[in-house]
Structure 1
């Protein structure tokens, strides 16, 4: 049973939402951040990058406190206002590729995360969880929802369609040509119906935001332990989420690029590959695999297709069958010497939404020596691995939609 509840969002005013909304801080280059901070005083980047005001890089607790100050200033200046009653928020994204994503922004339960009603499929890094937990504790808000997915549900779909017949609260298009729309769901009957449908769902799955959800869970544990009057209804018992049906989820692969051949010559490398793979040189023609256990490789200006020799690789678990795991177990670890995928600086990742030529370009420019491509993970694979209590290698999925920060904010 999923405990999904409405909440009183802090939101930009209608006239400023397009100016406030930003991508995640890390997704901008230094030049892009500087441009937005210089030219747009309403950007949410001013809150998460408070040192810009002082022309100084600030980190740690000092930065967290300044983030809190900038946030309060946005509220004091009425750039942000808080809704008077708890609402669900229907959210739609139409991207430049004409894909449409519909879902509901709501608060998800940390207890559901704890008891595995909200399932995970990806490992997290402990120190990142702790850093973000400390950040949340100081700033007192979350501005970027965790992406959760649920089985397609006719009742929720009909409610979303009904709500979208009305004028949206927000409608704005970004410089990346993605159009965002938001509707408030205030009607008590609709709120009850939505809550009821989620309560009847046995399991939800984290699609994107494993570190954010893990940090919110750690914050919940800390604040619960230090509150002798804990009731379970406090805001810290929940974290902001964007819930979309499984059919709306778009999963891309992450291509792997490696800086060197681990001391091997090209010929020695290909000979070792031949033990586990049937190799075909595709020449200059870009090759992208079309089925599981097939991989593309780019090396020395040429594309190759790699087909796994199934008799030489044993599949015992759902994780063993995952292409990113197969690549790690058959090539990256034993041949190229990549042991720690999270901390090894010899490996890079290029999301599969970009053309495979992006991988070729990175190698041709000398940044890497060899690259590997694969087909995207399916929603069924992702769910099976989560249900089995296993974790994918890092960067196994690049998942859409991607929300903007600062459109809805959850306070605790």
Structure 2
């Protein structure tokens, strides 16, 4: 059962919310982050990517970066650019993209739920990325970025949450703005103790929460909590370090976009040889237009200025296996590895990945610029992620691309 808890959120004053809210730290590099904050001293990237306030030559993992992050956060709190709610609250965070809304509940999740697998995972994490966020959380003494969770929608729970933020009520959002990428952001504070208790109890009936995005942040937050437990052997379990910041959206609200592939070469094959090999496992149909797959087990392929539709043949995958039946696995197991010779997509320099938010034209552009072939994918579904997590397996690399991205800086959870 899911354990959630209200907290005294540290959040921006209303007039600065749109300036403080920033994309998560891991969707850009340092150079991009420096460009994004030009003219905006309030951006949360000054905390999440504090190296942007130091000399560009500095190692992003230098101790000075984490000290600067803490300094910036403490300063913004002292200067009252952030405020803290006086009592523990829950929060509603709604995002609107192209007229489509997703409504999540902001709370603190239990590190014990993570350890006991009540919060399920579907990705491996890397030690170096974990250590970076461990240092960041530890120095800031705070969870600065929310973990993106999902759950199988429960109508009663969703109705209670949505009633609080329903149009026409006297409860107005504390934040209501559109970010530079056109995404709308609205936040409500649930400060009614009876409603808070009701929602906490309703989530207690939900069997599992699932990490949609933020595996490194969640693993790091949990490890910091465990470190604090070692430092405080008489801990009671009620301390803030036993919990981490999260936003949970019902699965039916979420949109997973396609995560497409481009490859530099045909592994020494001619175009004819390559197509012959692909035809052993796929039905190939040449098309006069761009191919954006509309069904599972179908793929678009762009090669030599031509688009093709690939349809996986029977026997090219195991329909009963939650991993083998994923489109990313079908492409990997039948094309990328055996034909193109790409064994590990995480480490190969011959392959790149393009989020569906960039559009099909970006695949053509990359092939014309520096790649040889592109594959457009059918988007992985949230149910696929849950099915894999339920079997305690992991998704193949680069399987999911969630949009819109959660903004950091709207909520901060202090560990003391």
- The TM-score with structure 1 as length reference comes to 0.94
Quickly say closer, same or farther: Cα 1:314–1:45, change in 2 above 3 A.
Answer: closer
Pick from 388, 399, 409 the counterpart of residue 406 of structure 1: 409
Partner of 1:88: 90
Compute the displacement of 1:388 (Å).
0.9
- Secondary structure of 2:37 counterpart: helix
Runs of at least 4 residues of structure 1 off by over 6 A? none
Give distance in 1, aligned partners of 2:17 and 2:316: 55
Give distance in 1, aligned partners of 2:282 and 2:268: 20
Give distance in 1, aligned partners of 2:386 and 2:38: 43
Give distance in 1, aligned partners of 2:214 and 2:49: 21
- Secondary structure of 1:310 counterpart: coil
Partner of 2:64: 62
1:121-270 maps to which residues of 2 (within 5 A)?
A: 121-164=122-165, 165=169, 166-270=171-275
- Secondary structure of 2:238 counterpart: coil
Partner of 1:75: 77
2:290 matched to 1:286?
yes
Indicate if the aligned counterparts of 1:101 and 1:401 stay in contact, CA closer than 8 A.
Answer: no
Quickly say closer, same or farther: Cα 1:26–1:195, change in 2 above 3 A.
Answer: closer
1:315-394 maps to which residues of 2 (within 5 A)?
A: 315=319, 317-365=321-369, 367-394=370-397
- Secondary structure of 2:394 counterpart: coil
- Secondary structure of 2:38 counterpart: helix
Indicate if the aligned counterparts of 1:121 and 1:386 stay in contact, CA closer than 8 A.
Answer: yes
- Secondary structure of 1:15 counterpart: helix
Give distance in 2, aligned partners of 1:149 and 1:350: 24
Q: Deviations over 1:157-214 (max 9, x none)?
A: 2322332231111111112222211111111100000000011111111111111111
Give distance in 1, aligned partners of 2:316 and 2:203: 44
- Secondary structure of 2:332 counterpart: helix
RMSD: 1.8
Larger CA deviation: 50-59 vs 290-299: 50-59
Partner of 2:312: 308
Quickly say closer, same or farther: Cα 1:375–1:335, change in 2 above 3 A.
Answer: same
Structure 1's unaligned 5+ residue stretches are none
2:6 matched to 1:6?
yes
Give distance in 1, aligned partners of 2:295 and 2:36: 41
- The TM-score with structure 2 as length reference comes to 0.93
Compute the displacement of 1:27 (Å).
3.4
Equivalent pairs, count: 409
Partner of 2:21: 21
Quickly say closer, same or farther: Cα 1:275–1:221, change in 2 above 3 A.
Answer: same
Larger CA deviation: 218-227 vs 398-407: 218-227
Give distance in 1, aligned partners of 2:212 and 2:52: 33
- Secondary structure of 2:402 counterpart: strand
- Secondary structure of 2:236 counterpart: coil
Quickly say closer, same or farther: Cα 1:54–1:263, change in 2 above 3 A.
Answer: same
Compute the displacement of 1:31 (Å).
6.9
Indicate if the aligned counterparts of 2:298 and 2:377 stay in contact, CA closer than 8 A.
Answer: yes
Quickly say closer, same or farther: Cα 1:28–1:386, change in 2 above 3 A.
Answer: closer
Indicate if the aligned counterparts of 2:149 and 2:247 stay in contact, CA closer than 8 A.
Answer: yes
Indicate if the aligned counterparts of 2:6 and 2:90 stay in contact, CA closer than 8 A.
Answer: yes
- Secondary structure of 1:16 counterpart: helix
- Secondary structure of 2:122 counterpart: coil
Compute the displacement of 1:56 (Å).
3.9
Compute the displacement of 1:37 (Å).
2.9
- Secondary structure of 2:315 counterpart: helix
Indicate if the aligned counterparts of 2:317 and 2:325 stay in contact, CA closer than 8 A.
Answer: no
Compute the displacement of 1:156 (Å).
2.5
